[in-house]
Amino acid sequence: MRVILAQPRGFCAGVVRAIEIVERSLEKFGAPVYVRHEIVHNRHVVETLERKGAIFVDELHEIPDGAVTIFSAHGVAQTVIDEAKSRGLPVLDATCPLVTKVHLQGKRYVARGRALILIGHEGHPEVEGTIGQVGGPVHLVSSTQDVDRLDLPADAPIAYVTQTTLSVDDTREIIAALQRRFPNIEGPDVADICYATQHRQSAVRDLCRVVDLLLVVGSRNSSNSNRLREIGIEQGLPSHLIADGSELDPAWLAGVGTVGLTAGASAPEELVLDVIEALRHHGALEVEPMDGVREDVEFRLPAELRERTKEPVR
């Protein structure tokens, strides 16, 4: 049995930055530091940071006065920022810069008097943060059917933004439906779609052409990981989302000559290696990477964390 690894896979630059913000905060200020919501959607990452001294909470009222506070990579509503300021909490913002870019785009559209439509999944933390950032009404759509149900006149000035964990392919039909219904519409350039989401989905499509089974390493609550599995299913392949090697079901491997393996943007490479080790126990003899995009994007850390010197919290 062969195992072919998608390229790229796993951590994106926004996830790397978010995790590093927590780790450097622990180094500089000491434990504990408090993180509002999971820093990224991966239980392994969260538990690793918990062992180092991070405490994850659902809301700010769970954070003691004066404690170092970190916002997750998904972004937060303005009301959360205002509450932290009113309490004087020392905040480090781990919001992915590409998510922040969506917030700024949305604010500009609303300031110009356009009705804002957000393409995304209801209840996702990034969507909730974006809705709470733009300073005006937001119409959330997840499908072309949602577009048909929008209670807006056809001649209304419209603009749209998208959840970053959706790719060009994910949003193409919805954007086309919006353009058909609303002639006076604006939206971001295709180049503004999250590079990591697009790269990982394109790599999986390439992978699906040469394998018999697709395994996606990622958490159940990871939007982009679930989408990678869905792409495999759309390509007609048996496809499974697994957290690590312990979730590999040997029955999936019956009659399989080549396994495709990828990972969502919040899944660390060590979990991919764990799945490879599990596959070796079931007859995997070769492991090879596919050719693909080599990502070299890096996002700057907050200024107060660029120096590692430990200091007391002020």
Catalytic residue positions, numbered:
126
138 DSSP 8-state letter: E
Identify whether the C-beta of residue 46 lies closer than 8 Å to the C-beta of residue 56. Answer: yes
Identify whether the C-beta of residue 215 lies closer than 8 Å to the C-beta of residue 240. Answer: yes
> For the residues of 287-310, what is the DSSP string, one character each?
EEEPP--------PPPGGGSS---
Q: CA distances (Å), 251 to each of 213, 238, 275, in order?
A: 12, 12, 15
| CA–CA separation, 100 and 109 (whole Å) | 14
Residue at token pair 């697709």: 214
Amino acid found at 268:
P
Collect all residues with Cβ–Cβ distance below 8 Å to 236 and sequence separation of at least 6. none
Beta strands in the chain (DSSP E): 2-5, 33-36, 54-57, 69-71, 91-93, 115-119, 138-141, 158-162, 185-186, 213-217, 239-242, 258-263, 286-289
- Give the pair of three-digit tokens for residue 51: 């062992």
Peptide bond into 8 cis (omega under 30): yes
- Give the pair of three-digit tokens for residue 60: 């700010």
Identify whether the C-beta of residue 215 lies closer than 8 Å to the C-beta of residue 260. Answer: yes
Query: Per-residue b/e over 65-80, b at no fewer than 16 CB within 10 Å?
Result: eebbbbbbbbbbbeeb
